[in-house]
Structure 1
């Protein structure tokens, strides 16, 4: 959606609107619902942002507009929803000139990219597929790079689940295909990846952040330590050692060598998926940027080295 313009259309007289309570006028793209309530005039997109039903058929009470199809409720003044699954209604500017009501013919979010980024965060946090689908499409329409969308979903998955999950594997596998997919299929790849990450994180405890050591040992020592902590199943020590290696600027190739070497200490941890988790984590960082290694790489330690049940 575009930012609002300053083109206005006449709704009618204020007295007529008072008598009718509401009126629908045609905007530049879609119908606009104009409502008189408690001495004020409000103008909003007439389509419910949930599934597009006409809000003119809804009810207004105490400043709350309710859509009768799915009972989504909205703050009449701001258009903001009380139900996160419904999304906010875009609003229009209103002016009263010499007893007549005028509204802008276009509406939208002033910063569409920021709006849909926040809506994707909401959809992921509450595991709402419809919100995720709309937010991904909204970001793409707002020219947000596909890698940026994948990055947002990846970091959500890394922060909101105690360990790498199948959703991040699926997201990475689909994101690898994005350069080769037509636009409509790229959208579906991003949606399905994001949906699986949200499902993985639903009801899970978030990760506990750990910090690197204060020293910067040589890479060979860090590699030995990582193998040691794996063999004695000391997860926290393994994560801190890995974070220390990242903070020391160890190259991706050396990190891969250290992690894969440590994985051989417990080759059958988590039914033998450790190599796949490590591989996918590195592929994911190639996609979203290696500056996110401290957030992402520690997520593989729990599953890859210590198994699903170990804490």
Structure 2
């Protein structure tokens, strides 16, 4: 490992780094900040992940790097932020060879799609627009299909709010437009849809899991029961009946018939929103897959 390689760049001598405390490596890659702190050498992206301010202008104390632009703080070793709104800063491997400091100039992950999938999950969970924006862009750049991103966001919205929210309606409406949008606008549609779902779920209790009935009544009986529970506003009974219909293998058309039959008897309930929500839920399933 003493010979230079295309992946590693010379930052300077260890003695120089000790004297200066930090060095910046420039090249065809992104600027890399190399820091000497408490007898160890660290290397990370020189751009603050929040708004790009040069981290070389920040301060280091007790293993914590602080950006002076918005006071975002980062763990030097891992690059992880203590302030979730700022996002984590990428790090890169660093080696000391014969008194010289070498840094690997690539910022990447073994599985980019999986990495950005997890980052989107984190962004949605904490309603962090910056993280959502980066994660949507990262997934698209990694070749993830648009429908897969819509599916991830829709599942998050369904699981983390006890009821259909306007964010899921917006996500579905925007997702319907994706086939006719240019790439840049498609990215914005996905970002705004995901952001609205995250905002809907922020601070909400997650949906309680309910189970289908142990029996499998025929479709006609399930349809009658669903109408009965809708009329008397018995939510738990209606949901268990619907879950039973799904478990019994009713087709999308049969499920739609049962739900719309129950809803249209109370067409003006909730000023008609629930009728629209049912329609959008079926559109969303058409987009992301009924499985």
The TM-score normalised by the length of structure 1 is 0.89
1:159-180 deviations in whole A, cap 9, x for unaligned?
A: 1111111111111010011011
Q: Name structure 1 gaps, 5 residues minimum.
A: 292-311
Aligned to 1:240: 240
SS in 1 for 2:102: strand
Aligned to 2:179: 179
Aligned to 1:88: 88
1:212-249 deviations in whole A, cap 9, x for unaligned?
A: 01111111111111111111221100000000000110
Aligned to 2:114: 114
SS in 1 for 2:86: coil
The one of the two structures with greater contact order (alpha-carbon pairs below 8 A, sep at least 6) is 1
CA distance in 2, matches of 1:227, 1:174: 31
Q: Is the 8 A contact 1:28 1:105 kept in 2?
A: no
RMSD of the alignment, in Å? 1.3
Q: Equivalent residues in 2 for 1:246-265 (5 A)?
A: 246-265=246-265
| Distance change in 2, residues 1:248/1:208 (3 Å) | same
Q: Name structure 2 gaps, 5 residues minimum.
A: none
CA distance in 2, matches of 1:244, 1:125: 30
SS in 2 for 1:65: strand
SS in 2 for 1:74: strand
CA distance in 2, matches of 1:140, 1:132: 12
Aligned to 2:288: 288
1:140-175 deviations in whole A, cap 9, x for unaligned?
A: 111111111111111111111111111111110100
Aligned to 2:102: 102
CA distance in 1, matches of 2:202, 2:232: 31
SS in 2 for 1:28: coil
Residue 192, structure 1, aligned to residue 192, structure 2: yes
Residue 228, structure 1, aligned to residue 193, structure 2: no
Aligned to 1:301: none
Aligned to 1:12: 12
Task: State the 1:110 CA deviation.
Answer: 3.2
CA distance in 2, matches of 1:81, 1:6: 30
SS in 1 for 2:53: coil
Q: Equivalent residues in 2 for 1:1-40 (5 A)?
A: 7-40=7-40
Q: Is the 8 A contact 1:28 1:106 kept in 2?
A: no
Residue 128, structure 1, aligned to residue 118, structure 2: no
Q: Is the 8 A contact 1:154 1:168 kept in 2?
A: yes
Moved over 3 A (4+): none
CA distance in 2, matches of 1:47, 1:191: 23
Q: How many corresponding residue pairs?
A: 287
Aligned to 1:160: 160
CA distance in 2, matches of 1:96, 1:120: 35
